[in-house]
Amino acid sequence: MSNQTEPLSQRISRLRDHFLQRFGRKAEVIVRAPGRVNLIGEHTDYNDGFVLPIAIDRNVLLAAARRDDHRVHLVAVDLDDEDEFDVTAPTRSETKAWANYHRGVAAMLQQRGIDLTGADVMFSSNVPIGAGLSSSAAVEVAAAFGFLAISDQEMDRAQMALACQQAEHEYAGVPCGIMDQFISALGRADSALLLDCRDLSYRHVPVPESARIVVADTGVRRALAGSEYRVRRSQCEEAVRLLQSALPGIRALRDVSEAELQQYEHLLPDPIRRRARHVVTENQRVLDTVAALEAGDLRRAGELLIASHHSLRDDYEVSSTELDAMVEAALAAPGCFGSRLTGAGFGGCTVSLVANEAVKDFVRSLAQTYRERTGRDATVYVTRAADGVGLVA
């Protein structure tokens, strides 16, 4: 992983130099694709629900230059590793899992009728891996945008995000929702993105200038997130199946109101009942948070973040000792409107909404309290919403 505090201009310059040294020629394009943090709306995406992510100023940089053949020579700077494949017929690598994100993206773009040329490609990232900030989606979106740019092709960004999601499903083997790829492709500076994960309609929601978004990494990687993600997803599907006896028109938990769930929750055994309750109430919290942000009511937005964490901890059971400690430390720190775990859970990061004037004191207090409670050091990122993928050179 590259230096997370290195300025973007220096990272670009360093990547240019690496590319020239490795391939003996200059990169033709350099792409930046951001990671993301989800303000609220956790585990709702694969239930056809609502999410409210922002793109962050941690990103993947990708340099590329076209080749005269159909080969892709791929270099992962941070891993000090390389891969090579035929861009017209990419197959899954059984030995280099990291390369499957690029291979899969190339395959899915061509499945959609996009003709790609061969390329020399090099990439580097300062999005922490395993922290719940969507490092994999940033890699996929950077790869897609780079392949398109070097091949003189264009594609609707929402469709590009769908191609990247399919690549993660089929080549990385992760049944992710659409949120991560979508926000990396379509983020906007100083705004969150309200996304309807059913029909992919979206709108940008300005984040008040008086607040900053603070991401705190617990330092615990999400070892259980993959397997437990699949369990939670199947539990939600089972909840829908059981509720359809009383609500035959529903296709996903998105279609169930809080009142309907209360009326028919007796049809659901635990823990299915609690999983459904989290998703149903979380969808409403997303919409309420949008209303609060648009009204400039940061106190109300913070209350909803806290309620989201409690639901994720108690009903969805995806929190951890460290995540709970980080949220408690945040809520005890100056200027914090609200805080919660973000991402799949079982480790990774929290997200907090903090008053601008209190950020320095907040970060200092958060780090100290977390260390006292867990013996661990927190890595804290103060961020604003960033633009989605694009060319930087």
Annotated catalytic residues are: 180
Q: Which of 362, 322, 60, 40 is nearest to 214 (CA)?
A: 362
**Residue 209 vs residues 73, 205, 206: alpha-carbon distances, Å:** 43, 12, 9
Q: Tokens 């539990």 appear where?
A: 235
Integer Cα distance of 177 and 237 in angstroms: 14
Integer Cα distance of 239 and 300 in angstroms: 30
Integer Cα distance of 133 and 136 in angstroms: 9
Q: Tokens 């070892």 appear where?
A: 223
